[in-house]
Amino acid sequence: MASEPATAVELAEEQRLVEEAQQGNLDAMRPLLERYAQPLYGTVILPRLGDAASAEEVLRDTLATAVEKIRRFTWQGKTIYPWLRQIAINKVYDVHRQSKRSRKLADAMVHEVALESDPESHADAQLMADQERRAHRERIDETMQGLQERYRLAIELRLIQELPREDCAQRLGVTIGTFDVLLFRAVRAFRKQFGERAGLPGTGEP
């Protein structure tokens, strides 16, 4: 993962690798793929899919497509990351289109992506990844604020702090069985709320 903003030297190196790949040495893409695989997975793909196995597949397809189409990429003095990110988002769309079960959740994601996807306004991969992570978190936190207090606590303790069920139940002063019900309802409520916050009419209706 790109841990720091790209320096001019890193950018020059990135340009050299891209040009080398465009001249036919596709293996030159390897350092770039290794650098951007983590931010693509952690901030672009997984938060939009919610399934680690699918996210890994989408990441692989994204990187493969980038290598196949590298000749079409035009270097504009900026990192290749926005281009990779756009490929990844398109792949996520494809997965959601094929999967009707999560369509409403996906629609919520699509709505958000259209607002934030402006590659021209970002020059650095890490800045983009940070911004995207913040945007996701704000959206999750806003949705959490709309939940009942006990549902919010159930999600906070179990999914964010990742405490064992027993500890979660103890903190809330309920039995484990009751905590299971609380978490179950909390996630259902979150799911409904998440879609509704994106302005999708009729979310949660059959």
> Which residues would be at the binding site for another protein (CB under 8 A)?
1, 26-27, 29-30, 33-34, 37-38, 41-42, 46-53, 56, 59-68, 101-102, 105, 133, 136-137, 139-140, 148, 150-151, 155, 158-160, 162, 165, 177, 179-185, 187-192, 194, 204-206
Nearer to another protein, 47 or 82 (CB): 47
Please report how close the Cβ of residue 195 comes to another protein at its closest, in angstroms.
Answer: 10
Nearer to another protein, 72 or 77 (CB): 72
The DSSP annotation for 117-180 comes to --GGG---HHHHHHHHHHHHHHHHHHHHHTS-HHHHHHHIIIIIS---HHHHHHHHTS-HHHHH
Q: What are phi and psi of 123, to 5 degrees?
A: -110, -15
203: left (phi > 0), else alpha (psi -120 to 50), else beta?
beta
Nearer to another protein, 16 or 30 (CB): 30
Please report how close the Cβ of residue 82 comes to another protein at its closest, in angstroms.
Answer: 19
CB 51 within 8 A of CB 96: no
Cα–Cα distance measured from residue 141 to residue 146, given in angstroms and rounded to the nearest whole number:
9
Nearer to another protein, 23 or 148 (CB): 148
Please report how close the Cβ of residue 77 comes to another protein at its closest, in angstroms.
Answer: 25
